Amino acid sequence: MSPKSLADRLPVLSLAIRNLSRSKTRSALAAIGIAIGVIAIVSLGMFGSAFQRSQMQNIGTIGNNVGVFPGEDLDRANFTERQLREIRRAAQPADLIAIKQDVREMRSRDGTTDQTVYGIADPDRLFDVRQGAIPDNWRSGIIVGDQLATIEGIETGDALNLDGQTYRVAAVLEDAGQATLVNPNNAVILPPSRFAEDTYTQVIVLSDTTAEATRTAERIRTAMNDRRERVQVFEFSQLAQQINQLFLQLNLFLIGIGAVSLVVAGTSILNVMLMSTVERRGEIGVLRAVGFKRFAVLRIFLTEAAMLGLIGGSAGVVVSVLIGTGIHSLFLGDPFAFDTLSVIYVVGGFSFGIGSGLISGAYPAWKASRLDPVEALRE
C-alpha cells in the first residue's frame, strides 16, 4: 500500500476539494467574492484605525492634560507660589508643570519684535525636540519653537538677544500642532530662573488617562473654588472622548461597508452551492444509497462551503496585509505599524470569511442532506 494520502486521512476534505476543483471557475469566483469581502472589512478597518492614529498623533495626549488658569475672582493676575502649592495638593497624585509667561523684545537683523516667552522648568515633558537637546540641569540657554526658528532661520548654537540679554539656543522644538494647552511653535522657552517674579500664568496637570484627568480636574475645582471662581479649569477629556467616539463611528461605518460586501459574497457561495446540489442530485442519491447518512451528506457540502470561505479568506488576508502596509506607510510613515486593532481586523475578517462561507453553505447543505434518495436517483 502506498503511504497515506490526503484522501485516506481526511476523506471528507478531499472529497470537498475535488468537488470544488470540478468547476474551477465557479469555485474561484465564489472564493474571490469572499476575498473581496474580507479585503473590504480588513483594509477599511485598518484604514480607519490608521487614520485615527495619525490624527491622534496630532491631537496628542491633550485629553490627558488639564489646564488651570487664574479665575475671575483670584486676587491677582497670576498664581503665586502659595497658590501653586494649593493646586499641587489638590491635584495629587497627578503631577503638574507650572508655566511663567512674559513678553520680551527680541532684537534681530530686521529690527525688534515682541516675543512671547515661557518659563518652564522641564519642557521635555511637554514638547519634543527636533534639533539639539534640552540640558538636564537647565539654567542657561534657550529653546526656540518650530515656527519661530523656521521664520527667523534660528539654529542651535545661535545667539539670541532678548531685552538686551544674549542667550545661546540649546534646542529647537518639533511642530507641536495646534491642540496644546501651551503652544510653543511661535515662542521662546527660558529657564524659570530667568524670570524676575515667581508667579505663574497657568498650570498644566499631567495624567496618564483621560478618565484620571477628569477626576483631577474635579478635585482641583472643589478644592480651589467656592462661590468665588479663583481658578479656571480647562479639561479636554470630554472633547477627547467625543473625538474618540467619532472615530469609533467612522470605523464602524467603514467596517459596515465591508460587511455588506461580505454578505454579497456569501450570496454567491449560496448560489454556487445550490447549483451544485441540483447538478449533483444523482450523486447525492448514490451516497445515500450506499449508506451515507444525512449528516454525512451535510458534512460534505458544508466542508465545500467552508473551503470556499477558507480559500477566499486566506487570499483576502494576504491582500489585506499588503494593503495595510500601504495604508500604514501613508498615514503613519511605517509600513509595519500594525497594532493590536489591525491584528483583530485581520483575524476578524478571516473568521467572517469562513463564517459567511459556512452560513451561506448551511442551507444548500441542509437541502442536499434532506433530498429523498429515491427522488434523487430518478432521472
Partner 1 sequence: MLIETRNVWRRYTLGGEIVTALADVSFGVKPGEFVAVVGPSGSGKSTLLNLIGLLDTPDEGTVLVDDVAAETLSDGQRTELRRDTIGFIFQDFYLIPTLTARENVALPQLFTESATERNERAVALLSQFGLGDRTEHTPSELSGGQQQRVAIARSLINDPAVVLADEPTGNLDQNTGKTILGEFERITDDGTSVVAVTHDRLVTDFADRVVELVDGRVGDSTKATQHVS
Q: Which positions lie near partner 1, rule CB under 8 A?
A: 1, 4, 7-9, 11, 15, 18-19, 21-22, 282-283, 285-294, 296, 373-374, 377, 379
**Which secondary-structure segment (H or E) carries 128?**
none
Q: Which is nearer to partner 1, 15 or 321 (CB)?
A: 15
How far is the CA of 112 from the CAs of 206, 318, 371, in angstroms?
36, 60, 93
d(CA 334, CA 142): 33
Q: Which is nearer to partner 1, 295 or 336 (CB)?
A: 295
| Least distance to partner 1, CB of residue 290, Å | 4
| Least distance to partner 1, CB of residue 363, Å | 20
**Which secondary-structure segment (H or E) carries 120?**
strand 111-120
- Strand, coil or helix: what is 339? coil
Q: Which is nearer to partner 1, 21 or 178 (CB)?
A: 21
| Least distance to partner 1, CB of residue 342, Å | 40
| Least distance to partner 1, CB of residue 265, Å | 25
d(CA 136, CA 154): 22
| Least distance to partner 1, CB of residue 15, Å | 8
Q: Which is nearer to partner 1, 239 or 286 (CB)?
A: 286
HEC string of 223-254 equals HHCCCCCCEEEEECHHHHHHHHHHHHHHHHHH
Residue among 219, 168, 158 at smallest CA distance from 191: 168
Residue among 4, 46, 105 at smallest CA distance from 316: 46
Q: Which distant-in-sequence residues (6+ apart) come within 8 Å of 208 by Cβ? A: 64
| Least distance to partner 1, CB of residue 368, Å | 14
Q: Which is nearer to partner 1, 69 or 292 (CB)?
A: 292
Q: Which distant-in-sequence residues (6+ apart) come within 8 Å of 205 by Cβ? A: 65, 66, 67, 68, 87, 91, 94, 95, 96, 213, 216, 217, 220
d(CA 50, CA 339): 9
| Least distance to partner 1, CB of residue 21, Å | 8
d(CA 3, CA 68): 77
| Least distance to partner 1, CB of residue 302, Å | 15
Q: Which is nearer to partner 1, 9 or 139 (CB)?
A: 9
Answer whether 272's CB lies under 8 Å from 308's CB: yes
Q: Which is nearer to partner 1, 21 or 209 (CB)?
A: 21
| Least distance to partner 1, CB of residue 9, Å | 7
Residue among 307, 350, 320 at smallest CA distance from 28: 307
Q: Which is nearer to partner 1, 104 or 280 (CB)?
A: 280
Answer whether 379's CB lies under 8 Å from 288's CB: no
| Least distance to partner 1, CB of residue 39, Å | 30
Q: Which is nearer to partner 1, 341 or 377 (CB)?
A: 377
Q: Which is nearer to partner 1, 135 or 373 (CB)?
A: 373
d(CA 120, CA 110): 28
